[in-house]
Structure 1
Amino acid sequence: MNELQEVPYWLWGCLAVALLLQGTLLFRNAQKRGRGKVAWFWGLWGLTGIPTPLICYLLFVVYFDWRKTNRKP
């Protein structure tokens, strides 16, 4: 239990900044891509951990753009 007490405060601050930055970037990028209804999901999930939400966003939204692949010619 003493491991968390030994972590310096500046490291906690860097972690908080990284989480806020990731959540904000995911939210803004999802809005820009026209996914306004789920942009809040990506933003909130981006605040929970690093880097899993970012990797999933890049895979599902950027790489596998479902709207482009499901369009009929």
Structure 2
Amino acid sequence: MKELQEVPFWLWILVAAVLMVQGTLLFRDAQRRGKGRMAWFWGIWGITGAPTPAVCYLLLVVLPDRRKRNTGRQR
């Protein structure tokens, strides 16, 4: 059985940076969309893993919001 290699320090820094950027972007976009306290949920969930929170945010917040705007324009 092969011995597990240690994860390089630069990879830990990269993962932490990606998670922080994702959480920050989700939080700020949710605030901009007027989600109130849910912005905190999206931001905190965004720093816990990638890319699941971003995909769920896209499917549950961004796309329905875009559909609402498009149906409002057609009337």
Tell me which interval the TM-score lies in, with the shorter structure as reference length: 0.7 to 0.9
Structure 1, unmatched stretches of 5+, are: none
- In structure 2, the partner of 1:44 is 44
- In structure 1, the partner of 2:14 is 14
Q: C-alpha distance in 2, partners of 1:12/1:28?
A: 24
Q: CA deviation at 1:64?
A: 2.0
Structure 1 vs Structure 2: percent identity of aligned residues?
Answer: 63
Q: How many residues align?
A: 67
Structure 2, unmatched stretches of 5+, are: 70-75
Q: CA deviation at 1:28?
A: 0.2
Q: CA deviation at 1:37?
A: 1.7
Q: Would you identify which runs of 4 or more consecutive aligned residues in structure 1 move more than 3 Å? A: none
TM-score by length of 2: 0.80
Greater C-alpha Rg = 2
Higher helix share: 2
- In structure 2, the partner of 1:32 is 32
TM-score by length of 1: 0.82
| RMSD between superposed Cα atoms in Å | 2.0
Q: CA deviation at 1:51?
A: 0.0
